Every structure is written in C-alpha cells, then in structure tokens.
C-alpha cells in the first residue's frame, strides 16, 4: 500500500475535517443552553430549528452544479469558511429568526464540506486505501470533538456565549481562508461528470444510504430523549456519554478501516445491522439505567460502520460518477431527516417503543439486502 499520508489531499482534508467537526461540536454543545437561556425559545422553536438544520443536507445534490464554477477542493475550504461564519455571528443575533439564519448558514457549510470530503477522498485514494483514510478522518473528528468539549467546559464559566461563538467561529474562518489559498489537487485525477447521476446499478448503494439516514435520525432524535425522559439522565451524564463515545471512536475507527480492507464491506455491514436489531429492541424494553447507557455507547460505535457504504460504492462506481453520486447520496440520506422526526414524534406519543421497533425493522431489511453486496 502506498504512503497515502504523503498525498497533499490527505492532510488538506484532515485539517478541514477537524475544523468541520469542531464547528459542529461547538454549535451542538452551546445550542440548547443559548437558545433557552439567552434567546428564550420553547420546544416548538427547537423542533423547527432542528428541521431547518437538516435542509442543507437535503439540498446537497446542488454541489454537482456548484463545482461547475468552483473547483471541488476550493468548495471544501469555502464551506468551512461559511460554517465558521455562521458560528461566529450566532452570538450576535440572539433571536429566533437570527438562529434560523445562522443555523442555515452553519449547516450549509457543514453539509457541503461533508459531501465534498467524501467525494475527494474517493477520487484521490484507491479502493484499498480509501477505507483507511475515511476511518482516519473519523478518528480525527472524534479527537476534535473531545478537545472542543473540554475547552468549552473549562472556559464556559468565564466567557459569554457571544465571545465563545466569536472565538470558535473566527478560528474556523481563519483555517478555511488558509485552506482556500492551498492547491492540493493532482492533474492525473479523472474529471468528474458535471451533472446529476442516477444509475440503476447503484440501487443498493442508494437504498443502504437511505436506510442509514433513517436509523441515524431515530438514534439522534429519540435515543438521548429516551435517556433523559425515561431514565432521568442529567446534562453531566449525557456529556460523559458523549466523551466516552468520542474516546472509543478515536481508537476504533482505524480498526474499522483495516477490517474493510481484510474482510470486505458485506461482513462489516452485516455485523452492524445484526447488532443494531438487538440494540433497538433493547431500547424499547430495557429498564436498567446502566444497560441503556451501554446501549447508547454501542449504538454510537456501530454508527461508524457506515463507512462501509461509502467504500462499497467506491468499488462499484464509475470513477467519473463519484462527485455527483456523493451529492445524490447525501440528499438521499437526508430525506429521512426531514420526515422521520415528525412521524417518530407522533408515534412516540402513542408508545415510546414504536420508533425503536421501527429502527429494528429497518436494520433487519438492511441486513437482508446487504447480502447482495458483491465486490472483487
């Protein structure tokens, strides 16, 4: 295997991934307290803001047209600048409509970077190396989340929300400006198709991507809510779980990449879906605070296995389809994000077990269909 770390695009994307994750972690950490304690929002406002945050992910397919006028690696850097700018001005606009605006800006930056990151990784690294590189990016992302959480924990008693938003946002903007002046591209990379690509032979990739988005929304929308609502987890306990998750992810992600290289995507994803069936069913019926905390950690670990969907696509795709298909895949992944939280919330009111049993059913369907994966 060639020394992929010498590839300029590798370090370029690692730096931007750290910025992207740090920005999102800062936003997530401060959002609830800022929106309630400073802006004075109610539950109905929070739900709408969470839906607004997913709109840019749903519109990720527009990346295909943006790269008609700007090179893809520059769009990555520009996306980080936009993310940082959205974060920077959040504290300056402490109102409901201000939060809608800044959330949209931040989210466009985050989602468009994530789309171009996957596309560039699959273009610049071969089929044996890309699983290692994608896993390394996730490890650095986990480390960035840990560092940001610790920094906010230390400085929060001394600084206002406005100052923290400006500090983190300004630093991320500065990194994005640095990146936009760099040129990590290679001339031997195949030019990408500058139009939307939807092909019948990619059907399994599209389906697995959609189902991954559905499971992710059940996890994000209802798992923590269950911990707080039914089991009474405090902010400190939730923060501790986040910290444990990121520490584990930092160490486990490189192993996931090596597993894909050695055993392939079908075995990895089969493991993920089998254990997710058990985890979702357990969410619905477990009554132990300790066990449900362990389930949350396991859930978070298996979430990383979705790297196998990207590397599977890499092995079956026409190299010229990667940029467009990454954008289409991101949009498909976020279709569920627009619909499921609302439907799941209504079902929760009937019985909180229903969303988790639905997650188990989605995982069962995925387990069956992932057996169709065929790669060299």
DSSP 41: -
**Angle at CA 171, nearest 5°, toward 167 and 172?**
120
pLDDT score for 367: 94
Q: Pick from 212, 207, 211, 210: which is nearest to 306 by CA?
A: 212
Q: Pick from 115, 110, 137: which is nearest to 65 by CA?
A: 115
Instruction: Give pLDDT tens digits along the chain (376 positions).
Output: 456 677 789 999 999 999 999 999 888 888 777 877 788 776 567 667 777 887 888 888 888 888 888 888 999 999 999 999 999 999 898 888 998 999 999 999 999 999 899 889 988 888 888 889 999 999 999 999 999 988 888 888 888 889 999 999 999 999 999 999 988 888 777 776 667 777 888 899 999 998 888 888 787 777 877 887 788 877 667 778 888 888 998 899 899 989 998 998 999 999 999 999 999 999 999 988 899 989 989 988 898 898 899 889 888 888 888 878 878 887 888 887 677 766 777 777 788 888 889 889 999 999 999 999 887 6
Angle between helices 8-33 and 130-155 (to 10 degrees): 40
pLDDT score for 80: 96
Indicate the SS3 state at residue 308. helix
pLDDT score for 272: 93
Burial 323-360 (b: 16+ CB within 10 A, else e): bbbbbbbbbbbbbbbeebbeebeebbeeebbbbbbbbb
DSSP secondary structure string for all residues of 223-292: IHHHHHHTT---HHHHHHHHHHHHHHHHHHHHHHHHHHHHH-HHHHHHHHHHHHHHHHHHHHH---HHHH
> In which residue are the tokens 């590189």 written?
133
Distance CA 370, CA 375 (A): 12
Cβ 356 vs Cβ 299: under 8 Å: no
pLDDT score for 83: 96
Distance CA 244, CA 296 (A): 10
pLDDT score for 4: 65
Domain boundaries, the chain: 4-372
Indicate the SS3 state at residue 70. coil
pLDDT score for 376: 61
Q: In a 10 Å sphere around its CB, with 0-12 CB exposed, 13-18 middle and 19+ buried, how is residue 135 labelled?
A: buried
Distance CA 242, CA 145 (A): 9
Q: Pick from 213, 26, 13: which is nearest to 113 by CA?
A: 13
Class of domain 4-372: mainly alpha
**3-class SS string, 149-212:** HHHHHHHCCCCCHHHHHHHHHHHHHHHHHHHHCCCCCCCCCCCCCCCCCCCHHHHHHHHHHHHH
Give how far Cα 180 sits from Cα of 13, 29, 374, Å: 12, 27, 39
Q: Tokens standing for 264?
A: 């392939």
């Amino acid at each position: 295997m060639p020394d992929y770390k010498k590839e300029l695009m590798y370090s370029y994307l690692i730096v931007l991934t750290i910025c992207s994750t740090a920005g999102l972690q800062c936003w997530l950490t401060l959002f609830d307290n800022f929106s309630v304690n400073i802006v004075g929002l109610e539950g109905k406002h929070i739900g709408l803001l969470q839906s607004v945050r997913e709109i840019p992910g749903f519109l990720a397919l527009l990346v295909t047209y943006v790269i008609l006028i700007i090179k893809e690696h520059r769009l990555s850097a520009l996306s980080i600048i936009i993310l940082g700018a959205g974060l920077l001005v959040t504290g300056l606009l402490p109102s409901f409509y201000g939060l809608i605006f800044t959330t949209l800006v931040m989210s466009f930056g985050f989602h468009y970077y994530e789309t171009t990151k996957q596309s560039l990784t699959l273009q610049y690294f071969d089929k044996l190396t890309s699983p290692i590189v994608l896993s390394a990016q996730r490890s650095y992302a986990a480390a960035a989340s840990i560092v940001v959480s610790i920094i906010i924990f230390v400085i929060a008693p001394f600084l206002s929300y406005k100052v923290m938003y400006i500090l983190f946002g300004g630093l991320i903007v500065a990194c994005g400006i640095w990146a936009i002046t760099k040129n990590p591209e290679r001339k031997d990379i195949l030019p990408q198709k500058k139009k939307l690509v939807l092909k019948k032979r990619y059907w399994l990739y599209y389906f697995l991507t959609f189902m991954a988005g559905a499971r992710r929304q059940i996890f994000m929308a209802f798992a923590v809510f269950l911990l707080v609502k039914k089991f009474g987890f405090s902010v400190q306990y939730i923060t501790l779980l986040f910290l444990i998750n990121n520490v584990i992810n930092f160490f486990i992600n490189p192993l996931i990449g090596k597993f894909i290289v050695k055993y392939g995507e079908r075995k990895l994803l089969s493991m993920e879906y089998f254990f997710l069936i058990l985890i979702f069913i357990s969410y619905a019926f477990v009554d132990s605070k300790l066990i449900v905390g362990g389930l949350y950690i396991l859930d978070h670990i298996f979430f990383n296995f979705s790297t196998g969907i990207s590397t599977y696509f890499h092995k079956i795709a026409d190299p010229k389809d990667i940029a467009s298909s990454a954008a289409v895949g991101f949009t498909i992944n976020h279709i569920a994000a627009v619909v499921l939280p609302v439907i799941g919330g209504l079902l929760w009111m009937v019985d909180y077990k229903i969303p988790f049993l639905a997650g188990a059913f989605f995982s069962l369907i995925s387990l069956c269909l992932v057996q169709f994966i065929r790669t060299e």
